[in-house]
């Protein structure tokens, strides 16, 4: 992924600079501190237009931001500034704006200011702390111009404010990553699973994701070209990535390894960043050998942040990719059961999953039958790390796309050792209430699971996309 460009400008009033010695330098240093802090986040380039204190500089700043194609713009209100400086931004830029109402300190040093003997110097000291003054003025202009914006208030070393800023930057990374993503769709839908059917045009126009329609015959041809040395190398990769159950036959391992090599080549050829797949066909058809041996390879791809969703679940592949871009995993999952004794919900699937969310090393195990699907083959056995977890679903409803999320805890307790990913989850509401609220939002029966609590970031990403988000809490 290329570095994401974040815009930063400071705004002030040039009339002040000759009136109050040192004020401009002081405010510029504050802006430099903000820039340095932003640059500490990975994969970020800060496009800094400096101090904008008149309309000409505002035009230059807007031109720079447009030319650099920034993902979003932070405006640091360094002191009082005229709302006219916003007009070029309103006219030229079509990106979300975040107003930074960031004071140098949690509060003005009242005794220091009041002990000054020069009332002009006292006014200069106040102006260095009056960031809040322009917030209502700027908001008024943005509201009337129908500009998407938000406000972060705090002070320069305010951890809470910087958490918000970091979430905005992460949301910008997700937005850029989803636009750059190429999703492969391979095979066809699971017949009758109508909740999974998706409008690919809506997916591409909302998220910006390019969808590449793939053919099973292409994967089959690539698989036939895989040599013995390639298979042996992939088996060694399996041995490093998985705990291979002793009951896995060498034939099944090699079959899965050959398919995994072919998947890697398919992904490389089409430059894919995610994939959704499913295929059944007639029993014993040529492609059954492929489709019944994909889980190990798809899990390796998912672990490389190229998430793969089964059952042609495009919406879930999108949710998994969002989580992958956040660095929190993302696995293919569905509701398994409810434990009313412990008030928990069990979620899982037969794969694939992401290694970083696993409580222990992922096991590769044989399944004598893929429930509801043709054939047999290898699957994965794992549980999600105990602790904070987030569920995410991309919902396709009557009014377009939306996000559905929930924060909960992956908790200890008995699970099903059936050769699947599965874990137990507890939420702030009862299991009965949770399944009702979640389901009535209208998602498909699949969802993605990641580690940590990240709904703050997801809300900001939904804001950037201008789509609704529902958070179950």
Instruction: Compute the distance between CA of residue 73 and CA of residue 164 in angstroms, rounded to an integer.
Output: 14
First to last CA, the chain: 33
**Residue 141 host element (H or E):** helix 135-145
> Could you tell me the CA-to-CA distances from 312 to 130, 191, 200, 279, 323 in Å, in that order?
54, 10, 12, 9, 18
pLDDT of residue 316: 96
pLDDT at 165: 98
Whether the per-residue pLDDT at 403 is higher than 70: the answer is: yes
Mean pLDDT over all residues of the chain? 94
Task: State yes or no: pLDDT of 345 exceeds 90.
Answer: yes
Residue 260: C-alpha distances to residues 10, 28, 254, 296 (Å): 51, 54, 10, 7
- Partners of 102 in the beta sheet? 154
Confidence of residue 419 (pLDDT cuts 50, 70, 90): confident
- 393 bridge partner residues: 404
Greatest distance between any 2 Cα atoms in the chain:
93
pLDDT at 308 over 80: yes
Task: Pick one of 3.40.630.10, 3.30.70.20, 3.40.50.10940, 3.40.50.300 as the CATH number of 4-179.
Answer: 3.40.50.10940
pLDDT value for 32: 98
Q: What is the pLDDT of residue 1?
A: 64
Domain residues of the chain, as ranges? Answer: 4-179, 181-472
What does the pLDDT look like over 14-63, one tens digit per residue? 999 999 999 999 999 999 999 999 999 999 999 999 999 999 999 999 99
Determine the Cα–Cα distance for residues 219 and 183; give it in Å rounded to an integer. Answer: 15
Q: How far apart are CA 308 and CA 295, in angstroms?
A: 9
User: CA–CA distance from 411 to each of 344, 355, 388, 437 (Å)?
Assistant: 8, 18, 9, 21
In the CATH scheme, what is the code of domain 181-472? 3.20.14
pLDDT digits (tens, 9 = 90+) for 92-110: 888 999 999 999 999 999 9
Which range is most confident: 345-359, 406-420, 446-460? 446-460
User: Per-residue pLDDT tens for 312-332?
Assistant: 999 999 999 999 999 999 999
Identify the H or E element spanning 430: none
pLDDT at 312: 95
Instruction: Give pLDDT tens digits for 63-93.
Output: 999 999 999 999 999 999 999 999 998 888 8
| Mean pLDDT value of segment 214-234 | 97
Question: 234 versus 372: which is more confidently predicted?
Answer: 234
How far does Cα 34 stand from its chain's mean position? 24
Amino acid 368: pLDDT: 79
The 10 Å Cβ neighbour count of residue 47 is 19
**Residue pointed to by tokens 């990106």:** 95
Q: pLDDT tens-digit profile of 239-281?
A: 999 999 999 999 999 999 999 999 999 999 999 999 999 998 7
């Amino acid at each position: 992924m290329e570095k994401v460009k974040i815009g930063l400008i400071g705004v002030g009033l040039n009339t002040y600079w000759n009136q109050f010695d040192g004020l401009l330098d002081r405010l510029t240093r504050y802006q430099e501190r903000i820039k340095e802090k932003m640059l500490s986040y990975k994969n970020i380039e800060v496009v800094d237009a400096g101090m904008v204190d008149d309309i000409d500089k505002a035009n230059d700043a807007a031109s720079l931001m447009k030319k650099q194609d920034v993902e979003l713009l932070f405006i640091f209100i360094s002191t009082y500034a005229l709302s006219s400086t916003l007009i070029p931004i309103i006219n030229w830029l079509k990106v979300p704006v975040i107003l930074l109402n960031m004071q140098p300190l949690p509060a003005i040093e009242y005794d220091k200011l009041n002990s000054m003997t020069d009332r002009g110097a006292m006014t200069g000291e106040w102006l260095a702390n009056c960031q809040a003054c322009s917030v209502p003025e700027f908001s008024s202009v943005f509201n009337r111009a129908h500009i998407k914006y938000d406000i972060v208030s705090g002070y320069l070393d305010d951890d809470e404010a910087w958490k918000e800023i970091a979430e905005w930057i992460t949301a910008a990374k997700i937005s850029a990553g989803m636009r750059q993503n190429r999703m492969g769709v391979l095979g066809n839908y699971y017949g009758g699973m109508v909740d999974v059917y998706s409008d690919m045009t809506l997916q591409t126009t909302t998220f910006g994701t390019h969808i590449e329609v793939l053919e099973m015959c292409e994967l089959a041809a690539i698989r036939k070209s895989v040599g013995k040395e390639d298979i042996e190398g992939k088996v060694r990769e399996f041995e490093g990535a998985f705990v291979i159950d002793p009951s896995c036959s060498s034939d099944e391992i090699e079959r899965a390894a050959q398919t995994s090599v072919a998947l890697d080549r398919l992904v490389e050829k089409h430059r894919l960043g995610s994939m959704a797949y499913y295929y059944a066909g007639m029993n014993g058809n040529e492609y059954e050998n492929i489709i019944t041996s994909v889980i190990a390879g798809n899990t390796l791809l998912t672990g490389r942040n190229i998430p793969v969703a089964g059952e042609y679940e495009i919406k879930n592949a999108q949710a998994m990719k969002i989580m992958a871009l956040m660095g929190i995993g993302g696995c293919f999952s569905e509701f398994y059961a409810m434990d009313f004794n412990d008030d928990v919900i069990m979620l899982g699937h037969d794969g694939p999953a992401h290694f970083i969310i696993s409580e222990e090393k992922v096991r590769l195990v044989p399944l004598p039958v893929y429930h509801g699907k043709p054939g047999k083959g290898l699957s994965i056995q794992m549980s999600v790390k105990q602790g904070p977890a987030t569920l995410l679903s991309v919902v396709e409803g009557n009014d377009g796309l939306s996000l559905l999320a929930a924060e909960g805890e992956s908790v200890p307790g008995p699970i099903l050792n059936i050769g699947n990913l599965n874990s137990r989850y507890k939420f702030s509401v009862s299991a009965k209430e949770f399944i009702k609220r979640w389901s009535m939002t209208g998602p498909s029966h699949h969802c993605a699971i990641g580690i940590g609590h990240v709904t703050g970031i997801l809300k900001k990403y939904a804001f950037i996309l201008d789509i609704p988000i529902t958070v179950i809490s």
